[in-house]
Amino acid sequence: MRWLPARTPESTSAGIDVGGDRIRTVVVDHAGDEPEVVGVRLHDGFEGDEARGSALAETLKSLPGKPRLVAAVGGRGVTVARVVLTGGSRGRPEEIVRWEADSWVESELGETPEDYAFAVDLDDRDLVADPGRASAPVLAVAARRDLVASRMRMFQRAGRPPEVMDTEATALHNALMFAAPSAVRGTCLLLDLGSTRSVANVVAEGELVFSGSFRLTSGAALDDPEESAGMAADQLDTLTARSSGSDALEPGRIFVTGGVSRDVTFISALSESLLVECEALNPFRRARFAPELTCDFDLDSQAPQFGIALGLALRGV
C-alpha cells in the first residue's frame, strides 16, 4: 500500500497488531471532525520470531513521519473484567480493585497475582469517600508482566517502542463501537479468532464487561467448521457464566473478527450452535477514508482481521 506522507504526523495514530504470521497496521488522522483512515497495511508471508521482528522493523520504518504508536497485548495472559465499587467501601478505589483483581487471578486463572501488572480505569475517584453515592463499575485489566515486557522488547528491537500499550480486548471494543453502534443495545459477544489464540469479549449495553481467551484457533475452525463451532459454543457458555458470576448470559448477537470470519460455513455453524445471530464484523463499515488512499490488497475481503489495529489507531493523539 501507499502511505500518505502529506498528513501531519502530530495528528495521527498508528495501531499495529502483531499476530502469529501477520502484522496489520492502520493509521488514523484525528485532525478533522471525525477520524479519517489514511493508511492500511498488511504484512504477511513470514514465519518465526526472527522473521516477525524483521517484518515489524520494516513496518515501523515505513510509517509516514512519526505518528503516535499504539500496540497491544492479548491472549490467555490478559484478562479484563468490571469490578463494582459501592459507596462507603473501606479503602481507596485502587486498593479495592487491586484486591478484587488479585482474587480473580488466583481463583479463575490459578496463577500468582505478583506475576501480573494491573491497570484500572477509575471514572469516579470520589465514590469511596462518599457513603451516599451509588455503586459504580470500574474496568480492571490484569496482564502478565512477562507478556507486556516481551511485547515491549519486540518493538524496541524493531526500532521504536510504542507510546501506548493497550489490550486487544479494549481495542476490539473500540472497533465494535465505531463500526456497529447498534451493539450498545442488550448483550453481545465479540470474538476474535487468531492463528494461535482466540478471545471472547462480552459487551453489555455498549460497555466492555469481560474478556477471556478460549481454546480455538482459526486453523481448526477452517479445517472443520461444524465441529469447531460446537466446541466454541460450549466454551463460550462457560466464559459468559464467568463474566456474570452466575448463569451464562444470553447474547442477542455475535460479531466475529479475524481471518476465520470470512468463512461463511463457520459463521453459519456457530449461529446454529448458539441459536444467536452471528456475523463477521467489518471494522471499516462506517470509516471515512482519505480520497488518496490506495491498497495493494482487497480490503473488503480482508477487513475483518483489522479490528484490533483500527481499534488501537482510534485512540486520540
CATH number at 194 reads 3.30.420.40
What residue numbers bound the domain in which 105 lies? 78-144
Q: Are residues 273 and 192 in the same domain?
A: yes
Distance in angstroms (rounded) separating the CA atoms of residues 113 and 123 = 24
**Burial category of 285 from C-beta neighbours within 10 Å (exposed 0-12, middle 13-18, buried 19 and up):** exposed
Task: With respect to residue 249, please indicate whether it lies within any of the assigned structural domains.
Answer: yes
Average pLDDT over residues 52-59: 94
Question: Is residue 309 pLDDT above 90, yes or no?
Answer: yes
Is the entire prediction scored with pTM above 0.75?
yes
Are 292 and 156 in the same domain?
Answer: yes
Question: Is residue 102 domain-shared with residue 38, that is, in the same domain?
Answer: no
Of the pLDDT bands very low, low, confident and very high (cuts 50, 70, 90), residue 154 is very high
pLDDT at 128: 45
Q: Do 90 and 54 form a contact (C-beta atoms < 8 A)?
A: no
| Residues 131 and 247 grouped into a single domain | no
> pLDDT value at position 125?
46
Phi and psi torsions of 301, nearest 5°: -80, -25
The pLDDT value given to residue 287: 93
Q: What angle do CA 1, 169, 200 make, to 5 degrees?
A: 110
Q: Is residue 200 one of the residues assigned to a domain?
A: yes
Distance, C-alpha 225 to centroid of its chain: 23
Does some domain include residue 176? Answer: no
Residue range 87-96, pLDDT digits in tens: 545 556 667 6
For residues 200 and 255, membership in a common domain is answered with yes
Q: Is the pLDDT of residue 133 over 70?
A: no
Q: How many C-beta atoms lie closer than 10 Å to residue 37's C-beta?
A: 21
Q: How many percent of the chain have pLDDT more than 90?
A: 31
Beta partners for residue 268, in sequence order: none
For residue 108, what pLDDT is reported?
61
Answer yes or no: are the C-beta atoms of 209 and 81 closer than 8 Å: yes
Comparing 9-18, 130-139, 173-182, 249-258, the range with the smallest average pLDDT is 130-139
Distance separating alpha carbons of residues 58 and 80, to the nearest angstrom:
32
Residue 162 lies in a domain: yes
Confidence at residue 124, expressed as pLDDT on a 0 to 100 scale: 46
How many structural domains comprise the chain? 3
pLDDT digits (tens, 9 = 90+) for 257-297: 887 777 788 788 888 877 888 888 999 999 999 988 888 88
Distance between terminal CA atoms of the chain?
Answer: 23
Nearest one of 255, 270, 116, 130 to 180, comparing CA atoms: 255
Residue-averaged pLDDT of the chain: 80
- When pLDDT is averaged across residues 195-222 and rounded to a whole number, the result is 78
Three-state SS for 240? helix
pLDDT at 254 over 70: yes
Same domain, 39 and 84: no
164 and 295 belong to one structural domain: yes
Query: How does residue 299 score in pLDDT terms, banded at 50, 70 and 90?
Result: confident
DSSP sequence for 54-116: HHHHHHHHHSSS-PEEEEEE-STTEEEEEEEE-TT-SS-HHHHHHHHHHHHIIIII-S-GGGE
Scan for cell 486453523, then name that residue.
219
Q: Based on the domain organization, do 67 and 83 belong to the same domain?
A: no
Residue 135 has pLDDT above 90, yes or no: no
Top pLDDT among 15 and 106 is at: 15
Report residue 23's pLDDT band, with 50, 70 and 90 as the boundaries. very high
One-letter amino acid for residue 216 of the chain: L
**pLDDT for the residue 246:** 47
Torsion 92-95-98-103 (CA) sign = negative
Asked if residue 91 and residue 67 are part of one domain, the reply reads: no
d(CA 2, CA 38): 9
